[in-house]
Structure 1
């Protein structure tokens, strides 16, 4: 296949474009996720800590970014509504962008998965973003990385739920925060994190989760199961019915 005239080789534009669009999109979703419970007076339900619409948008925007990177907070996380906690969990799992010190599966991974789903719904064989075709190897790694991250958070959440007498969504929030190396916590009602109430073994699980989150689920998975033996044959193709 011949290249288009004027094409001089690889370009960083797809990564830069994906980075910018995914950052803007996730921040936009964060602003949109202002749960009705979060807008009620504090004595009725936990909220974003502000009443004016402009302040609510600003706080939501700040935390939609902070939940994926720094872990800073200007509100009482333990007072927000359950839907908002769940949305913050998703943002912590997605994490920061490639090349940063943040954790999570990374914004580009999430973007590739969305593009792959869209391509499948459109009946396209290739996954395309910003007028570029994404190699199938990268698409496969994106799905594997997401599955491993989901398994990590789900597995350790189930373990802690069977050990600790805490609310399930708050335990999941704590695990996702550790896996994404974020540092947010719903708290123990005082100045300590929720992990301070865990047993010694529960705290050990949180520590392991942070180490695995820092190394990256994909790196850990490849180290555990990767084989360097190249197969010299291919099996016959099988069509499996889905859905």
Structure 2
């Protein structure tokens, strides 16, 4: 992990005084919303650790991270709407019913909680699109999730930067390690907390509540 963080910071250090850095952050966080292979959390935590030295600008970094979260969520939602229609007629109908059950059970809070779980962001935003969660509600919880996640990631970086003030690299690695540990704990707690598994729910009755949910969004 130290080597990964070091390579990332080596590439970003020349941009610390450039406004292009915030565009890179925005793009990385956005892409990570629908192609979860971009290490956007590592990037934001690492830059948060560096911000303890005065660069990058903390407010601009937070704004870029939150804006990227909103943009990526929006794309993921639209992809979910298209994929959801095809899945409902294909072999993935049962999987879609389980996803609908989860979102209908937890509501928009699933989008907020999913942001802090491994791969939870993509899963919840695409599911929101596939079940046609009202856009106003989706945008509200996406904004809350993006803001909370940006504060969380930067906060971890700042904590690491303060702990290892002599080494931004170690500070970034420390913040990332804490983030990974918390994500694992959240995932474990969520798994143990569920009293009923989606597989025990008959997928057929799910569609009427979904239509009612959609209709309520247009009132």
What's the TM-score once normalised by structure 1's chain length? 0.29
What's the TM-score once normalised by structure 2's chain length? 0.31
Give the structure with the larger helix fraction.
Answer: 2
Structure with bigger RCO (C-alpha 8 Å, 6+ apart):
2
Higher-Rg member (1/2): 1
